[in-house]
Amino acid sequence: MRRYPLFLTLLLPACTSLSPMEAGDQQFRLGHYAAALESYQQAAPDGAGSAEIEARIESARFQLVLQHARDLLHVEQPQRSLEVLGIADRLRPGAPATASLRARAHQKIGIGYAELGRDLYGAERPAEALEAFTQALAYAPENQVAQEGQVLAQERLDAQERLGEEFFFLGLAELDAGAEDRAHTAFQHAATQWGDDTRAGELLEQVSAELARRSRTQARDFLDLGLIGPAWLALRDADHLTPGVPEVESKLAEIESSMMADLDLDSAELALLGGYPDRALDEVAKVLERDAEGVEGRTAQIRREAEALEARQLYTRARACELDGLVVRAARLLEQIVAGGQPGYEDIPARLAKARQSIAAAEGSYREALEAESAGDRGRYLERLQATVGSARDFRDASQRLRLLTAKAGE
């Protein structure tokens, strides 16, 4: 934004007596064209005045337009500056100042297109780069970057044209020899050089459709033979050649779900071999979530084996707990076996009943021990704790109390 110099501020009072015409001339000389235009218009309040006033108004308007065009150039908006200069042409056709600003705008636009072309060329987009360099030269024919870039881009396009031609005719030869696979590869390379909207792209689409049809037929044959892996590969080829076919996508999803279910079942079997029935059951749960077809029998078999292994492990731990006097823990393990409903454990009801009797006896002895402790009867307290531990060593905190009491007695 323009600022009035300090000395002009000091002179303002002296200007108050100037006529609008004189004030306008003063502002015009200072380059304040908007203020000058306003003063000139005040000199002709009715919108019409002498030829001298009209000439000054026209000159102020013209300079205002040029100033706006310069400002746009300064903020790197040369295209808009050209639009504004069009107004200047209508006000004063053929003015040298307008031509000079237009030349500056053209240079800036040319530089912008040249930089764009250089970036496009570096991004391996020679056709678009050539167009940008051509635009740059249309605005600035002397732009050396655009001149050199245009040559390089054209050479790259010519090389792509020749390479695409080689691949195209190779594809035709392979197609004539009945080698559709090799023809597909050749047309693919040719379309990469020429573009998808060329004859190479058209032939590529035709050959892709034919190869995809063959892959779908091959997949059906593999499925009829129960060969899931080869069928999956054939369908993947078909989907790659012609993406988006609902029949292929649906069948691929079904096969992939079945393959993942088989992998989960393999993991479940490994878990069983390692003696981890809980992990095996987790893998079985994953299979059921996949809702895969054809794995129901294997899933049910693994589940039965896992549940049977889990019951055997529970029974073994329960027996070990009984032998170690951990009756409470043994009873819980036996109850888990009963809840699982596994056959072949006919002795469990009797063992569970015995364990519950021991727990009931331990509960009575423990209650009496607490009463003796409250009464201060140390001897009975010790005797009742021993009875509790004898019935069930893991009943509540009886073992801890007994160890603590024994330790104090030893002191």
Instruction: Please classify residue 118 by burial: count the beta carbons closer than 10 Å to its beta carbon, then call 0-12 exposed, 13-18 middle and 19+ buried.
Output: buried
Residue 6: the pLDDT is 45
Tokens coding 318: 């329960």
At 317-369, the pLDDT tens digits run 999 999 999 999 999 999 999 998 888 899 999 999 999 999 999 999 999 99
What is the band of 12 on the pLDDT scale with cuts at 50, 70, 90? very low
- Number of separate domains in the chain: 2
Last residue of a domain, one of 274, 294, 323: 323
339 is a domain residue: yes
* Residues 6 or more apart in contact with residue 267 via CB below 8 angstroms: 279, 283
Instruction: Considering only residues 53 and 75, tell me which one the structure prediction assigns the higher pLDDT.
Output: 75
- Alpha-carbon span 317 to 143, nearest angstrom: 90
Residue 46 has pLDDT above 60, yes or no: no
345 and 294 belong to one structural domain: no
What is the band of 1 on the pLDDT scale with cuts at 50, 70, 90? very low
Tokens coding 223: 């499925």
Last residue of a domain, one of 306, 323, 340: 323
312 and 259 belong to one structural domain: yes
Nearest CA-CA partner of 135 in 153, 124, 150: 150
108 is a domain residue: no
What is the band of 19 on the pLDDT scale with cuts at 50, 70, 90? confident
Tokens coding 31: 């380059």
298 is a domain residue: yes
242: DSSP letter:
S
SS3 content of the chain, % helix, strand, coil (to 5): 80, 0, 20
20 is a domain residue: no
- Alpha-carbon span 366 to 386, nearest angstrom: 9
Tokens coding 127: 């056709």
Contact present, 27 and 57 (Cβ < 8 Å): no
* Residues 6 or more apart in contact with residue 212 via CB below 8 angstroms: 237, 238, 241, 242, 245
127 is a domain residue: no
At 269-314, the pLDDT tens digits run 999 999 999 999 999 999 888 888 788 899 999 999 999 999 999 9
Instruction: Considering only residues 38 and 270, tell me which one the structure prediction assigns the higher pLDDT.
Output: 270
What is the band of 410 on the pLDDT scale with cuts at 50, 70, 90? low
> What value does the mean pLDDT of the chain take?
88
Residue 4 has pLDDT above 50, yes or no: no
- Alpha-carbon span 253 to 250, nearest angstrom: 5
Residue 189 has pLDDT above 70, yes or no: yes
Last residue of a domain, one of 264, 296, 323: 323
79 is a domain residue: no
Residue 45: the pLDDT is 62
222 is a domain residue: no
278 and 355 belong to one structural domain: no
What is the band of 8 on the pLDDT scale with cuts at 50, 70, 90? very low
Q: What percent of the chain has pLDDT over 70?
A: 94
At 212-262, the pLDDT tens digits run 999 999 999 998 898 888 999 999 999 999 999 999 999 898 888 888 998
Q: CA neighbours within 13 Å on the CB side: how many for 190?
A: 23
Give the domain extent around 363: 326-411
pTM for the model stands at 0.53
Residue 57: the pLDDT is 82
How far apart, in Å, do the first and last CA atoms of the chain sit? 99
343 is a domain residue: yes
Residue 9: the pLDDT is 46
What DSSP line would sit under 184-216, residue for residue? HHHHHHHHHHH-TTSHHHHHHHHHHHHHHHHHH
330 and 397 belong to one structural domain: yes
Dihedral pair phi/psi, residue 23, rounded to 5°: -65, -40
333 and 317 belong to one structural domain: no
